[in-house]
Amino acid sequence: AASYYDLTRRARALAQPWVTRRVHAETPSILTFQRLQHRLLDNFFSVLSCVVSVPFYTGFLPLLFWSGHGKLARQMTLLLAFCDYLGNAVKDLVSAPRPCSPPVRRVTATEDEKENAMEYGLPSSHALNTVCLMGYMLHYVLTYGPCDGFMIATGLSLAFMLVTLIGIARVYLGMHSLTDVIAGISFGIVILAFWLVVHDHVDAFVVSGQNGMSICLNITLNPAINKL
């Protein structure tokens, strides 16, 4: 449908010029913020960005499976894939640049960050993924764990602090403008709200044995079926 009605080109024609102007207009603010430059801040924000990156979750999510938290692991894996796909689809749709470097100082501590710097900017994938995955983890803990007013307040405070720090880190490192970060947070809230509506239905389908993955696993793990 997007190809037939030329929706991609039309949407890009509307969004790209506005976002590009916003990114260029925010360059002086980013440069002012980067005057706080310090080696400790560089290391802290670089490590923080790595902790919420896709390579980190690639190593972290199997630990949830191995520790027995199957539903949480399944949902966070599917949600990460969903967020990463939608976030990159929007980036390709808008095709907006990142802050110009130079004059903006860009800190890329890992090869993954260097590759990210070559992609389009809006929305910030780090902000989007953090909102969705930390939001879902908080929902899971409050749903299946002890839940009272103190736990809710503490969980929300920690989630808000992490999202805020990630947003600050992406601007400080020169990877995104404030517009990119706000867009990432906004998309993340929308995706998280949608996922909280459908996640039970998705998980019920995954574990029901009615989908191709479950059938393949059953055939592989059941010797009686293999003999047949």
pLDDT beyond 70 at 99: yes
pLDDT at residue 106 tops 70: yes
Question: Does 223 score more than 90 pLDDT?
Answer: no
pLDDT digits (tens, 9 = 90+) for 58-77: 888 888 888 887 888 888 88
Token pair of 184, please?
């990432």
Quick one: average pLDDT of 73-99? Answer: 89
What are the domain boundaries of the chain? 7-203
- What is the predicted pLDDT for the residue at 225? 40
Which of 24, 38, 69, 126 is the catalytic position? 126
Q: Residue 204: is its pLDDT beyond 90?
A: no
Q: Judge whether residue 221 has pLDDT over 50.
A: no
pLDDT given at position 217: 44
Identify the three-state secondary structure at position 174: coil
Is 24 designated active site?
no
User: DSSP E strands: which ranges in 68-204?
Assistant: none
Do residues 74 and 206 touch, judged by C-beta distance below 8 A? yes
Active site residue 176: yes
Residues in Cβ contact with 207 at an 8 Å cutoff, skipping those fewer than 6 apart: 74, 214
Q: Does the pLDDT of residue 103 top 90, yes or no?
A: no
Mean pLDDT of 124-138: 89
pTM: 0.81
What does the pLDDT read at residue 150? 76
pLDDT band at 117 (very low <50, low <70, confident <90, very high): confident
- b/e map of 15-46 (b: 16 or more CB within 10 Å)? bbeebbebbeebeeebeebbeeeeeebeeebb
Q: Which of 24, 69, 139, 176 is catalytic?
A: 176
Q: What percent of the chain has pLDDT over 90?
A: 12
- pLDDT for 211 equals 59
